[in-house]
Amino acid sequence: MGTEIRLVVVTDDPGPGDEALRRAVDDLESTEQALSRFRPESELSRLNREGAMIAGGRLRAAIEASVQAYEWSGGLLDPRVISSLEAFGYASSLPRSDVGVVTAPGGLEPVEMRRWIEEDTGRVTLPPGVRLDLAGVGKALAIGWAAMQLAGHAGLLVDVGGDIVALGRDERGDPWRVAVKHDKVVGEFSGDSLAVATSTTTLRAWKAGGRRAHHLIDPRTGAPVESDLLFATVAAPTIIEADLGAKLLILGGIEAAAALDERCRAVVTDRRGRTISLTGRRSAERAS
């Protein structure tokens, strides 16, 4: 996944705990094999090449989650931004030097994505020229699936690049504590059921023609979003809600908190270094 992974099981029985860790590692690899756009042999890469196929369970789940995210966000969370990522130099790996002047491909037209999926057969058919980047939902789903492999013990933690599911109790028998790091620690979430994700324009960043570029593409322009927020961390009932909520805040600004479930809590830091705590404003009934 191109990032650091930390898996923890809290148990008095090391045998089953070690086996659970092995299952979680294997599960993460299975998700990579299905959803990585950087692996030519992955299921997603095959779909992007061929345009249509019967999707396996993980790929279908990721596409369905992406469709839901697209609709929920009013089109801001768009999996079709792969062409913009590649145009700005993020193709096979993160650029390490200035990629030169880039002309943004332009904004994406609204589309009815649900038509891509045949519910009965699981066949996915992409429109001509459309390819998908499922990194956002894929990472969140991977964390959730790996956490399922670790369930049944006193506590568990799955940390993939700073996005975290933590359940039960930590090694000391205390509730889990997850620091909110925006260059420096600016807050903390604690509890026995945590799903926390951070989105930022500062980490996967590089230069394009002397100007700063990053991996969070604004589908309205086809270019890296020019956001007032540098960091957004969301704690939510599920890791996919946390991940999508954090990205939406970067793309849509503080006003996007209106779309978050009222059970969500967020910490954002803007370009001036100001850190603000937010809560979701949409009731669970309206958000479902």
CATH 3.40.109.10 is right for the domain spanning 5-287? no
Give yes or no for a contact between 152 and 9, defined as CB atoms under 8 angstroms apart: no
Stretch 272-276: mean pLDDT, rounded?
96
Banded pLDDT at 1 (limits 50, 70, 90): low
Can you tell me whether residue 234 is helix, strand or coil?
A: strand
pTM value is 0.94
Q: How far apart are CA 239 and CA 216, in angstroms?
A: 19
Q: How far apart are CA 230 and CA 91, in angstroms?
A: 23
- What are the structure tokens assigned to 33, written together? 């094999």
Average pLDDT, the chain: 94
Of the chain, the end-to-end C-alpha distance in Å amounts to: 30
Using one digit for the tens of pLDDT, what is the confidence trace for 152-185? 999 999 999 999 999 999 999 999 999 999 999 9
CB atoms within 10 A of CB 202: 12
- What are the structure tokens assigned to 64, written together? 């369905």
Using one digit for the tens of pLDDT, what is the confidence trace for 37-78? 999 999 999 999 999 999 999 999 999 999 999 999 999 999
Among the listed residues 125, 154, 159, the one whose alpha carbon sits nearest the alpha carbon of residue 142: 159
Q: How far apart are CA 50 and CA 85, in angstroms?
A: 20
Banded pLDDT at 283 (limits 50, 70, 90): very low
Stretch 98-126: mean pLDDT, rounded?
96
- What are the structure tokens assigned to 244, written together? 């999508």
Using one digit for the tens of pLDDT, what is the confidence trace for 222-272? 999 999 999 999 999 999 999 999 999 999 999 999 999 999 999 999 999
Q: What is the pLDDT of residue 2?
A: 72
Q: For residue 286, is pLDDT > 90?
A: no
Q: How far apart are CA 182 and CA 232, in angstroms?
A: 8
